[in-house]
């Protein structure tokens, strides 16, 4: 509670800074209540208007939220304290990180042919030959490729676009369960999240329709390898979703194809449905390297202009060193062969775990990608139970908004032989959990 942390300050700026410091240091955790305006004003010897101004600034920046009679509380995901995963305890098999298998990634060798010396690439921010590679990469999947651009990863692009298109308080439709870093990013921008339920085919049309009726101004979703559940759009599902979105010409659709080349599922893109405002973004971290912070995107002309205009005012361009590295890898036959092998390997590893879980009567989801989502009754009991068996999996609370509990298991490095032992341990832990918590 706020009484355990002494808020200080004699100006609105000072009070806001004090609260932010408490959140950053962990003294004020998510959901912690701040004192009522008049009470804090009396304690600090300032006017209620000064405290109200401080609270307003904190709300604008996504650090606190107001819950009517519930007062002002620290946001569930405050903009200054992202939900970072807990440190993996020593000696445990890490199946929580969601990273690709290092053995299936190419060596990142920076190019040497860039000319030395200071220069600006603002006039030509993108390598033309890389643009053509990107078009050739996207075109077979039905993504319109007339306008393409680059970014420093999907989160960079999404954050830039939402900050240009929307204002604090605007609503964004997000997958539930969904990728926790995207959920954190949207909250940090001061935007309101409207959860959209997912299943094995991705977004559920009725849930998206409800979000549209609620007035969302943007949608962020994954067409395949949905994180954490692994859903992928079928043709019928894609068409249903497009039908919902066609009636909203001002709604920005952000399609995050984060696993693309290793997703082991065909792309059924919303962008092929004639939408007015859209962007399809692909990163390469899952198959070229987590440290290669580069993404390609195709989008409508308005979105291109707004994204590139803001990029020009900030970093200016994506490093040509990165672009040259990406170009070299994307056009290398050896790398392509490695990516093909990675895709098949991840498919076998995921299928093996799903098969072993099903053999023990455990329902799980993972139609594509590198993760398996297992619904459970008590996340903590399962996570701690598997920890005692030497496994470290991700509690679903990091990914959930309004959906039911579950745990995420990353299978990128899980060999099929290991899946047998993990599934057996999982079944044992569930049995103990049901005995303890009533099934």
pLDDT along the chain (439 residues), means of 10: 75 94 87 94 96 91 81 78 70 93 89 61 88 98 97 96 93 97 90 96 98 97 98 98 95 97 96 95 96 96 95 91 94 97 98 98 97 96 96 94 96 97 97 59
The token duo for 347 is 């498919």
Do the domain assignments include residue 214?
yes
Give pTM, 2 decimals: 0.83
Same domain, 238 and 368: no
Domain count within the chain: 3
Same domain, 57 and 185: no
Beta-bridge partners for 279: 254, 299
Domain membership of residue 219 as a residue range: 124-333
Same domain, 174 and 274: yes
Q: Which residues, 6 or more positions from 27, have their beta carbon under 8 angstroms from its beta carbon?
A: 4, 5
Contact indicator for 264, 319 with CB cutoff of 8 Å: no
> Per residue in 13-66, pLDDT tens?
999 999 999 988 888 988 899 999 999 999 999 999 999 999 998 987 778 888
> Per residue in 342-359, pLDDT tens?
999 999 999 999 999 999
Which among 333, 348, 380 is the end of a domain?
333
Q: What is the pLDDT of residue 1?
A: 38
The DSSP output letter for 338 is H
Same domain, 58 and 168: no
Same domain, 304 and 410: no
Same domain, 205 and 314: yes
Instruction: Report the candidate in 173, 134, 132 with the shortest Cα–Cα distance to residue 151.
Output: 134
Same domain, 391 and 405: yes
Helix (H, G, I), strand (E, B) or coil at 199: strand
Return the H-helix or E-strand segment holding 157.
helix 154-165
Do the domain assignments include residue 265?
yes
C-alpha span between 311 and 302 (Å, rounded)? 14
Same domain, 304 and 401: no
Same domain, 279 and 413: no
Do the domain assignments include residue 118?
no
C-alpha span between 336 and 342 (Å, rounded)? 10
Same domain, 271 and 305: yes
Which among 278, 304, 333 is the end of a domain?
333
């Amino acid at each position: 509670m706020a009484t355990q942390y002494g808020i200080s300050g004699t100006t609105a700026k000072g009070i806001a800074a004090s609260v932010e410091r408490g959140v950053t240091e962990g003294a004020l955790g998510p959901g912690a209540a701040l004192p009522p305006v008049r009470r804090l004003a009396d304690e600090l010897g300032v006017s209620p208007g000064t405290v109200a101004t401080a609270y307003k600034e904190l709300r604008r920046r996504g650090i606190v939220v107001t819950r009517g009679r519930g007062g002002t509380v620290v946001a569930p995901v405050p903009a200054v304290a992202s939900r970072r995963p807990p440190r993996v305890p020593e000696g445990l098999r890490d199946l929580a990180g969601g990273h690709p298998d290092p053995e299936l990634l190419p060596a990142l060798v920076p190019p040497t042919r860039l000319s030395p010396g200071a220069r600006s690439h603002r006039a030509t921010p993108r390598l033309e030959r890389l643009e053509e590679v990107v078009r050739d990469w996207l075109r077979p999947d039905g993504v319109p490729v007339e306008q393409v651009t680059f970014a420093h990863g999907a989160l960079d692009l999404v954050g830039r676009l939402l900050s240009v298109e929307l204002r604090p308080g605007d609503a964004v439709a997000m997958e539930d369960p969904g990728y926790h870093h995207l959920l954190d990013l949207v909250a940090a921008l001061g935007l309101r999240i409207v959860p959209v339920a997912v299943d094995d085919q991705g977004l559920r049309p009725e849930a998206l329709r409800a979000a549209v009726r609620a007035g969302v101004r943007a949608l962020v979703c994954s067409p395949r390898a949905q994180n954490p559940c692994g859903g992928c759009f079928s043709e019928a599902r894609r068409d249903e979703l497009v039908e919902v979105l066609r009636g909203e010409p001002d709604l920005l659709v952000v399609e995050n194809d984060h696993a693309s080349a290793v997703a082991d599922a065909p792309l059924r893109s919303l962008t092929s449905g004639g939408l007015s405002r859209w962007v399809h973004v692909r990163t390469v971290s899952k198959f070229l390297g987590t440290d290669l912070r580069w993404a390609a995107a195709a989008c409508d002309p308005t979105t291109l202009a707004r994204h590139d205009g803001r990029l020009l005012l900030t970093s200016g361009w994506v490093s040509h060193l990165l672009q040259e590295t990406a170009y070299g890898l994307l056009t290398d036959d050896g790398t392509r062969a490695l990516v093909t092998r990675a895709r098949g390997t991840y498919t076998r590893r995921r299928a093996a775990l799903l098969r072993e879980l099903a053999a023990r009567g455990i329902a799980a989801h993972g139609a594509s990608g590198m993760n398996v989502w297992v619904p459970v009754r008590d996340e903590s009991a399962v996570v701690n139970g598997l920890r005692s068996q030497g496994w470290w999996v991700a509690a679903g609370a990091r990914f959930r908004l309004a959906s039911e509990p579950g745990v995420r298991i990353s299978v990128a490095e899980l060999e099929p032989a290991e899946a047998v032992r993990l599934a057996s341990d999982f079944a044992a832990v569930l049995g103990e959990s049901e005995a303890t918590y009533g099934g």
